[in-house]
Amino acid sequence: MQDLTQLTSAAKQVSDLYARRFGVTRDAAWYLGKMTEELGEVTSAYLSLAGQTRKDGSKSDLENEVADLLGFLLLFADWQGVDAGAAFERKWGAYLTEDK
């Protein structure tokens, strides 16, 4: 299993390829827009899988969209200088230590 640092590095490599291939300028609108777009696609894939749309969905479709959302979240965090793993441990991990 890869850690978030490795996943972020892979996401940056793919993002660099995408930006060169399509002439994309990665700015706030791009990072935020892509995360929003991918969240919509996760929602759509889930609803299709759950039989709540006219289109039949698959678990693979949902997994692919979750992967896209995670990739863009990692890119956004990196762009903003946020260590997503450390932030997660600090924020969510605090709940694990409250009861001890």
Domain boundaries, the chain: 4-98
56, two tokens = 């039949």
Q: How confident is the model at residue 97 (pLDDT cuts 50, 70, 90)?
A: confident
Q: Is the pLDDT of residue 60 over 60?
A: yes
| Distance between CA atoms of residues 91 and 94, nearest Å | 6
- pTM for the full predicted model: 0.90
End-to-end, the C-alpha distance of the chain in Å comes to 29
Alpha-carbon span 1 to 35, nearest angstrom = 24
In the predicted model, is pLDDT for residue 1 greater than 60? no
Average pLDDT (40-61) is 95
pLDDT higher than 90, residue 10: yes
Distances (CA, A) of 35 to 17, 41, 53: 18, 10, 22
Share of the chain above pLDDT 70, in %: 95
Alpha carbons 31 and 87: distance in angstroms, whole number: 19
| DSSP assignment letter at 27 | S
Residue 82 φ then ψ, to 5°: -100, 125
**Quick one: CATH architecture of 4-98?**
Orthogonal Bundle (1.10)
Rounded to an integer, what distance in angstroms lies between the CA atom of residue 70 and that of residue 85? 12
